[in-house]
Protein backbone atom coordinates (compact mmCIF):
# COMPACT_ATOMS: atom_id res chain seq x y z
CA UNK A 1 0.00 0.00 0.00
CA UNK A 2 1.30 3.44 -0.92
CA UNK A 3 1.86 6.08 1.76
CA UNK A 4 1.33 9.84 1.72
CA UNK A 5 4.16 12.08 2.87
CA UNK A 6 3.54 15.78 3.43
CA UNK A 7 6.26 18.39 2.89
CA UNK A 8 5.35 21.81 4.34
CA UNK A 9 6.82 25.06 3.06
CA UNK A 10 8.80 27.48 5.24
CA UNK A 11 6.79 28.38 8.35
CA UNK A 12 7.11 32.15 8.62
CA UNK A 13 6.43 34.21 11.74
CA UNK A 14 4.24 33.50 14.72
CA UNK A 15 1.15 33.83 12.55
CA UNK A 16 2.39 31.04 10.30
CA UNK A 17 3.13 28.86 13.31
CA UNK A 18 -0.28 29.51 14.86
CA UNK A 19 -2.01 28.64 11.58
CA UNK A 20 0.04 25.46 11.27
CA UNK A 21 -0.94 24.46 14.81
CA UNK A 22 -4.60 25.16 14.07
CA UNK A 23 -4.87 23.35 10.73
CA UNK A 24 -2.14 20.76 10.18
CA UNK A 25 -3.73 17.79 11.96
CA UNK A 26 -6.96 18.23 10.01
CA UNK A 27 -5.01 18.30 6.75
CA UNK A 28 -3.10 15.17 7.73
CA UNK A 29 -6.33 13.36 8.54
CA UNK A 30 -8.02 14.49 5.32
CA UNK A 31 -5.08 13.41 3.15
CA UNK A 32 -4.21 10.28 5.18
CA UNK A 33 -0.67 11.53 5.80
CA UNK A 34 1.77 9.03 7.29
CA UNK A 35 4.80 11.31 7.76
CA UNK A 36 5.31 15.10 7.77
CA UNK A 37 8.41 17.24 7.22
CA UNK A 38 8.27 21.03 7.60
CA UNK A 39 10.85 23.76 7.17
CA UNK A 40 10.99 25.96 10.29
CA UNK A 41 13.92 28.31 9.84
CA UNK A 42 11.73 31.43 9.63
CA UNK A 43 9.34 30.91 12.54
CA UNK A 44 11.15 33.74 14.36
CA UNK A 45 11.55 35.47 10.97
CA UNK A 46 15.26 34.66 11.25
CA UNK A 47 15.65 31.41 13.11
CA UNK A 48 13.58 29.29 15.45
CA UNK A 49 13.49 28.85 19.24
CA UNK A 50 13.22 25.52 21.10
CA UNK A 51 9.68 26.43 22.21
CA UNK A 52 8.64 27.09 18.63
CA UNK A 53 10.18 23.82 17.51
CA UNK A 54 8.23 21.97 20.20
CA UNK A 55 5.06 23.72 19.04
CA UNK A 56 5.70 22.44 15.51
CA UNK A 57 6.11 18.90 16.80
CA UNK A 58 2.89 19.23 18.82
CA UNK A 59 1.13 20.45 15.68
CA UNK A 60 1.94 17.15 13.96
CA UNK A 61 5.32 17.74 12.30
CA UNK A 62 7.58 14.68 12.50
CA UNK A 63 10.85 16.28 11.34
CA UNK A 64 11.83 19.96 11.12
CA UNK A 65 14.35 21.10 8.52
CA UNK A 66 16.19 24.44 8.53
CA UNK A 67 18.34 26.58 6.24
CA UNK A 68 20.42 29.74 6.07
CA UNK A 69 18.80 31.14 9.24
CA UNK A 70 19.50 27.98 11.26
CA UNK A 71 21.49 29.86 13.91
CA UNK A 72 19.37 33.02 13.91
CA UNK A 73 18.34 32.34 17.54
CA UNK A 74 21.15 31.31 19.87
CA UNK A 75 18.77 29.37 22.10
CA UNK A 76 18.29 26.74 19.39
CA UNK A 77 21.95 25.64 19.41
CA UNK A 78 21.78 23.14 22.31
CA UNK A 79 18.42 21.89 21.02
CA UNK A 80 19.99 21.00 17.67
CA UNK A 81 22.38 18.62 19.41
CA UNK A 82 19.76 17.24 21.79
CA UNK A 83 16.97 16.46 19.32
CA UNK A 84 17.42 14.18 16.32
CA UNK A 85 14.12 15.41 14.86
CA UNK A 86 15.38 18.86 13.85
CA UNK A 87 17.94 19.11 11.07
CA UNK A 88 20.25 21.84 9.86
CA UNK A 89 21.84 21.73 6.38
CA UNK A 90 24.19 18.77 6.23
CA UNK A 91 26.73 20.55 4.05
CA UNK A 92 27.50 23.17 6.69
CA UNK A 93 31.05 22.85 8.05
CA UNK A 94 31.24 19.80 10.34
CA UNK A 95 32.07 21.81 13.48
CA UNK A 96 28.60 23.41 13.40
CA UNK A 97 26.09 22.22 16.02
CA UNK A 98 23.38 19.81 15.01
CA UNK A 99 22.99 17.12 12.37
CA UNK A 100 22.05 17.28 8.69
CA UNK A 101 20.23 14.02 8.17
CA UNK A 102 18.50 11.30 10.12
CA UNK A 103 16.82 7.92 9.84
CA UNK A 104 13.38 7.66 11.43
CA UNK A 105 11.16 4.71 12.31
CA UNK A 106 7.59 4.83 10.99
CA UNK A 107 4.67 2.45 10.64
CA UNK A 108 5.70 1.77 7.03
CA UNK A 109 9.43 1.30 7.67
CA UNK A 110 12.44 3.53 8.07
CA UNK A 111 12.65 6.92 6.37
CA UNK A 112 15.77 8.98 5.73
CA UNK A 113 15.41 12.77 5.72
CA UNK A 114 18.27 14.88 4.34
CA UNK A 115 18.60 18.66 4.68
CA UNK A 116 20.91 20.42 2.20
CA UNK A 117 21.58 24.07 1.38
CA UNK A 118 22.45 25.50 -2.02
CA UNK A 119 25.45 27.63 -2.91
CA UNK A 120 24.15 29.81 -5.77
CA UNK A 121 23.39 33.27 -4.42
CA UNK A 122 23.40 32.14 -0.79
CA UNK A 123 26.75 33.68 0.21
CA UNK A 124 27.67 30.76 2.43
CA UNK A 125 30.96 28.89 2.37
CA UNK A 126 29.29 25.51 2.47
CA UNK A 127 30.46 22.19 1.13
CA UNK A 128 29.22 21.05 -2.28
CA UNK A 129 25.64 19.81 -1.71
CA UNK A 130 25.88 17.30 -4.57
CA UNK A 131 28.93 15.62 -3.06
CA UNK A 132 27.30 15.77 0.37
CA UNK A 133 24.24 13.96 -0.96
CA UNK A 134 26.48 11.25 -2.42
CA UNK A 135 28.22 10.80 0.92
CA UNK A 136 24.99 10.49 2.87
CA UNK A 137 23.43 8.03 0.43
CA UNK A 138 26.44 5.75 0.87
CA UNK A 139 25.68 5.68 4.62
CA UNK A 140 22.00 4.76 4.45
CA UNK A 141 19.99 2.13 2.62
CA UNK A 142 16.37 2.97 3.47
CA UNK A 143 13.81 2.57 0.71
CA UNK A 144 12.26 5.99 1.34
CA UNK A 145 14.60 8.99 1.29
CA UNK A 146 13.42 12.60 1.36
CA UNK A 147 15.52 15.68 0.55
CA UNK A 148 14.79 19.29 1.52
CA UNK A 149 17.08 21.39 -0.68
CA UNK A 150 17.09 24.92 0.77
CA UNK A 151 18.32 26.93 -2.20
CA UNK A 152 17.88 30.22 -4.06
CA UNK A 153 18.48 29.20 -7.67
CA UNK A 154 15.83 27.19 -9.48
CA UNK A 155 18.54 25.81 -11.73
CA UNK A 156 20.47 24.41 -8.76
CA UNK A 157 17.31 22.80 -7.38
CA UNK A 158 16.41 21.22 -10.72
CA UNK A 159 19.96 20.02 -11.23
CA UNK A 160 19.91 18.35 -7.81
CA UNK A 161 16.64 16.58 -8.62
CA UNK A 162 18.01 15.24 -11.89
CA UNK A 163 21.23 14.22 -10.13
CA UNK A 164 19.34 12.27 -7.47
CA UNK A 165 16.60 10.85 -9.70
CA UNK A 166 16.18 7.16 -8.98
CA UNK A 167 18.33 7.38 -5.85
CA UNK A 168 15.90 9.17 -3.53
CA UNK A 169 12.13 9.21 -3.23
CA UNK A 170 11.57 12.97 -3.28
CA UNK A 171 13.40 16.27 -3.61
CA UNK A 172 11.65 19.53 -2.77
CA UNK A 173 12.91 23.08 -2.67
CA UNK A 174 12.49 25.58 0.14
CA UNK A 175 13.76 29.14 0.83
CA UNK A 176 12.09 31.27 -1.86
CA UNK A 177 8.62 31.08 -0.21
CA UNK A 178 6.69 31.05 -3.53
CA UNK A 179 5.03 27.79 -4.53
CA UNK A 180 6.02 26.70 -8.03
CA UNK A 181 3.79 24.95 -10.58
CA UNK A 182 6.24 22.27 -11.68
CA UNK A 183 5.40 19.33 -9.40
CA UNK A 184 6.36 16.16 -11.24
CA UNK A 185 7.71 12.64 -11.00
CA UNK A 186 11.06 12.15 -12.72
CA UNK A 187 11.71 9.08 -14.91
CA UNK A 188 13.62 7.30 -12.14
CA UNK A 189 10.74 7.68 -9.70
CA UNK A 190 11.85 10.75 -7.75
CA UNK A 191 9.06 13.20 -6.91
CA UNK A 192 9.95 16.87 -7.23
CA UNK A 193 8.76 20.47 -6.82
CA UNK A 194 11.08 23.48 -7.12
CA UNK A 195 9.56 25.27 -4.12
CA UNK A 196 6.89 24.21 -1.65
CA UNK A 197 5.89 27.79 -0.92
CA UNK A 198 5.31 29.33 2.50
CA UNK A 199 3.23 28.79 5.59
CA UNK A 200 2.48 32.32 6.76
CA UNK A 201 0.73 35.61 6.00
CA UNK A 202 -1.20 35.78 2.74
CA UNK A 203 -0.90 39.55 2.31
CA UNK A 204 2.86 39.84 2.56
CA UNK A 205 6.11 39.82 0.62
CA UNK A 206 7.35 36.30 1.36
CA UNK A 207 6.12 36.64 4.93
CA UNK A 208 7.12 40.19 5.84
CA UNK A 209 5.11 43.41 5.82
CA UNK A 210 5.00 44.74 2.23
CA UNK A 211 6.08 48.20 3.38
CA UNK A 212 9.26 46.72 4.88
CA UNK A 213 10.18 45.02 1.63
CA UNK A 214 9.31 48.06 -0.47
CA UNK A 215 11.47 50.24 1.78
CA UNK A 216 14.45 47.97 1.17
CA UNK A 217 13.99 48.01 -2.61
CA UNK A 218 13.71 51.82 -2.53
CA UNK A 219 17.17 51.91 -0.96
CA UNK A 220 16.10 53.30 2.41
CA UNK A 221 18.23 52.66 5.51
CA UNK A 222 17.88 49.02 6.60
CA UNK A 223 15.64 48.11 9.50
CA UNK A 224 14.34 44.93 11.04
CA UNK A 225 11.68 43.11 9.07
CA UNK A 226 8.39 42.39 10.83
CA UNK A 227 5.95 39.61 10.04
CA UNK A 228 2.90 40.76 8.14
CA UNK A 229 -0.44 40.63 10.01
CA UNK A 230 -3.65 39.12 8.77
CA UNK A 231 -4.87 35.77 7.44
CA UNK A 232 -2.40 32.97 6.80
CA UNK A 233 -2.05 29.94 4.53
CA UNK A 234 -0.26 26.62 4.49
CA UNK A 235 1.56 25.77 1.26
CA UNK A 236 2.85 22.24 0.93
CA UNK A 237 3.08 19.21 -1.33
CA UNK A 238 1.77 15.68 -0.92
CA UNK A 239 4.02 12.90 -2.18
CA UNK A 240 2.40 9.49 -2.72
CA UNK A 241 5.21 6.96 -2.37
CA UNK A 242 5.46 3.20 -2.73
CA UNK A 243 7.32 2.19 0.47
CA UNK A 244 8.46 -1.11 -1.06
CA UNK A 245 10.35 0.53 -3.92
CA UNK A 246 10.82 4.08 -2.59
CA UNK A 247 9.45 5.48 -5.85
CA UNK A 248 7.04 8.41 -5.92
CA UNK A 249 3.75 7.71 -7.67
CA UNK A 250 2.34 11.24 -7.67
CA UNK A 251 2.94 14.76 -6.34
CA UNK A 252 0.10 17.12 -5.42
CA UNK A 253 0.81 20.75 -4.47
CA UNK A 254 -1.62 22.03 -1.81
CA UNK A 255 -2.63 25.42 -0.49
CA UNK A 256 -4.78 25.63 2.64
CA UNK A 257 -6.30 29.03 3.39
Q: What is the CATH number of the domain that holds 22?
A: 3.60.21.10
> What is the mean pLDDT of the segment spanning 155-159?
98
Evaluate if residue 123 carries a pLDDT over 90: no
Cα 220 to Cα 22: distance, rounded to the nearest angstrom:
37
Range of the domain at 209: 3-256
Query: What integer is the mean pLDDT of 124-151?
Result: 95
pLDDT tens-digit series, residues 74-95: 999 999 999 999 999 999 999 9
Active-site residue (options: 69, 150, 175, 177) = 69
In the chain, which ranges are continuous DSSP H helix? 13-30, 50-59, 76-82, 129-137, 154-164, 210-217
> Number of structural domains, the chain?
1
Q: For residue 122, what pLDDT is reported?
A: 81
Residue 101 host element (H or E)? strand 101-106
pTM for this predicted structure: 0.97
Catalytic-residue membership of 69: yes
Tens of pLDDT, residue by residue over 191-225, are 999 999 999 999 999 999 999 999 999 999 988 88
pLDDT of residue 125: 78
Per-residue pLDDT, 223: 84
- Predicted confidence (pLDDT) at residue 229 exceeds the cutoff of 90: yes
Measure the CA–CA gap between 63 and 104, rounded to whole angstroms: 9
CB 208 within 8 A of CB 168: no
| CA separation, residue 164 to residues 92, 150, 184, 192, 228 (Å) | 20, 15, 14, 10, 36
Task: Please give the share of the chain, as a percent, with pLDDT higher than 90.
Answer: 96
Statement: residue 167 has pLDDT above 80: yes
What band does 33 get if pLDDT is binned at 50, 70 and 90?
A: very high
Residue range 14-22: average pLDDT? 98
Mean pLDDT value of segment 170-194:
98
Task: Check residue 214 and give its pLDDT.
Answer: 95
Q: Is the pLDDT of residue 121 over 90?
A: no
Report the percentage of the chain scoring pLDDT > 70. 99
Cα separation, 213 vs 211, whole angstroms = 5
Amino acid sequence: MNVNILAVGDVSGQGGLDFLCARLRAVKKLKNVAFTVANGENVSMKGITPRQAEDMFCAGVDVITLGNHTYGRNSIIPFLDDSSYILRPSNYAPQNPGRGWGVYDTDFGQVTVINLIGRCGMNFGTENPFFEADKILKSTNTKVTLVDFHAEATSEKLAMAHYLDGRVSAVWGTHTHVQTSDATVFPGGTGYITDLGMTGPVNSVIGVRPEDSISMFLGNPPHRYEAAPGPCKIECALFEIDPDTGRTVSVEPLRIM
